[in-house]
Structure 1
């Protein structure tokens, strides 16, 4: 589904002071859904996970759900992640029924863990006033763009497009700077020191997952024993996640494929789980074009990719 321009009813002016009239916003779900989300009830004990697609969302979702549910690994293995922690936009994207669009989230028992890929100004207005816990995860765009390619082919889109064509279309050299993706992350990065927001990166999770788990426990006011930590590190390892059917979005894929009835490839959702994997799949010319486009966006915000990924400035990317 193509994205269309949308306009939120109000902007988070109490969080960020900026000229919101210049903020171009597009959303696949359309204006009516955007309005419904804007007005939805947010509970004080909600926990939200917000990311761009393919940035470590599933990894962090499972981590959060386990921390919030007393490390109940048996329950996690017996129910799909998407059922335990709904993707806010998914039901409407599949069924196009505004009346039931938020039903999966509304049916959750508190405390709710809710996932969304929507940008800050399209999230519920009550988020800005109630300020429940929110976790944001970013990832090197060179990796998440490659990962998106295999994801869309798994659900039956872009089958005639090569990886390099997909990368170039995603970069879109004629598009505005900053890009939508960079506006998405830059707004949350600016809020990273807010006490209700936990900002991290896929790369930081790869570098020191134990520390991220400890930090999340502290953020959510939870305790963890060493035995539970060892269980977490194993359960959240790439090898375990790759073979766990409850974490590879089979539940979502079945609904999408049934709806569209299109040819598709079978790429595991947890595919490579690697930082810097783009280097194995893209030519040096394409990587150079990506670097140039990314740098244009970084220059706009006076940021570096290392800063956005919470890495040392000398870390090669």
Structure 2
């Protein structure tokens, strides 16, 4: 998978004071003019954006947010694929590289729109930080996210034929953009106290999902009854998410055109563990990853414990 470096027309200097010209930003190649289209796109004031690194609890959070925004309509959620209820901003262009249709899934979505993206702060629409629409950010231990990404990549074809060891070693080679996940999270972590940003972690959701739901209700000005809360907790459990066809990206898999797609298939909701990487990686790989991650953390003046909100876990 090839990427190219992008220099947007403007940066969120009103949010974070930093030397943005040194911030390396990448988009899947060929990017064409799509990053500029995103930069210029209209953001609605009642939009809710869920931003994450890949495989960091995005689908889990999307389903939760969609239900909160739609009065806990579980029947509607179970009758339509999540990708259609809450489109992935970059998906259509990455799949088809057709700029004419790329933003239609988002533009045609009725309000309030729930929009997913893996883009870093500076590549998101400029109106997002100008209008300050609601943003929910979820971070996950990069080692767990990379392992999960490997299995998803095998299913969609990009990693077919690669061993986990080969893939993970590639994640740690030189300037691989997967290490940009620390910058990605650190910028939103700096904004965690802004009234329009809700920052959490996969690890915190695993430990106390009820508390996260309660905080999101306050953030979105929504209420749920105790009966709805109990159903939310069951609906969003790993067991239910894993067997739910609308949250396992079946619509997306049917759209994948890679020649090696679906030759080996892993369920999208596959493991859902915290620190599951320890069962998959060698000691040497973990130590090497830790060194590289720590280097990025230090350059961003943050710790992994802080990004994962481990100080907040009970």
TM-superposed CA distance for 1:31, in Å, is 4.3
Normalised by the size of structure 2, how large is the TM-score? Answer: 0.96
Matched, 1:310 2:305: no
Bigger Cα displacement from structure 2, 183-192 vs 160-169: 160-169
Partner Cα distance (2:177, 2:82) in 1: 35
Partner Cα distance (2:95, 2:43) in 1: 23
Partner of 1:268: 267
Normalised by the size of structure 1, how large is the TM-score? Answer: 0.95
Bigger Cα displacement from structure 2, 281-290 vs 74-83: 281-290
TM-superposed CA distance for 1:92, in Å, is 0.9
Number of residue equivalences? 312
For the structure 1 residues 280 and 179, does the alpha-carbon distance in structure 2 shift closer, same or farther, using more than 3 Å as the test?
closer
Q: Is the 8 A contact 2:179 2:293 kept in 1?
A: no
Which contiguous aligned blocks of 4+ residues in structure 1 show a shift greater than 4 angstroms? Answer: none
Q: Is the 8 A contact 1:177 1:297 kept in 2?
A: no
Q: Is the 8 A contact 2:160 2:260 kept in 1?
A: no
Q: CA offsets per residue over residues 61-87 of structure 1, 9 Å max, x none?
A: 000000000000000000000000000
Determine helix, strand or coil for the equivalent of 1:43.
Answer: coil
Determine helix, strand or coil for the equivalent of 1:211.
Answer: helix
TM-superposed CA distance for 1:235, in Å, is 0.0
Partner of 1:91: 92
Q: How does 1:170-249 map to 2 (within 5 A)?
A: 170-172=171-173, 174-175=174-175, 179-249=179-249
Stretches of structure 2 lacking an aligned partner (at least 5 in a row):
none
Bigger Cα displacement from structure 2, 292-301 vs 144-153: 292-301
For the structure 1 residues 228 and 314, does the alpha-carbon distance in structure 2 shift closer, same or farther, using more than 3 Å as the test?
closer
Q: CA offsets per residue over residues 95-121 of structure 1, 9 Å max, x none?
A: 211011100001111000000001100
Q: Is the 8 A contact 1:306 1:313 kept in 2?
A: no
TM-superposed CA distance for 1:314, in Å, is 10
Partner of 2:49: 48
Partner of 1:112: 113
For the structure 1 residues 23 and 77, does the alpha-carbon distance in structure 2 shift closer, same or farther, using more than 3 Å as the test?
same
TM-superposed CA distance for 1:313, in Å, is 9.0
Q: Is the 8 A contact 2:170 2:176 kept in 1?
A: no
Bigger Cα displacement from structure 2, 225-234 vs 182-191: 182-191
Partner Cα distance (1:66, 1:194) in 2: 24
Determine helix, strand or coil for the equivalent of 2:310.
Answer: coil
Determine helix, strand or coil for the equivalent of 1:293.
Answer: helix
Determine helix, strand or coil for the equivalent of 2:145.
Answer: helix
Determine helix, strand or coil for the equivalent of 2:311.
Answer: coil
TM-superposed CA distance for 1:261, in Å, is 2.7
TM-superposed CA distance for 1:167, in Å, is 1.1
For the structure 1 residues 91 and 314, does the alpha-carbon distance in structure 2 shift closer, same or farther, using more than 3 Å as the test?
closer
Partner of 1:124: 125
TM-superposed CA distance for 1:159, in Å, is 1.8
Q: Is the 8 A contact 2:171 2:178 kept in 1?
A: no
Q: CA offsets per residue over residues 17-49 of structure 1, 9 Å max, x none?
A: 111111111101514000000110000000000
Partner Cα distance (2:206, 2:20) in 1: 35
Partner of 2:161: 160
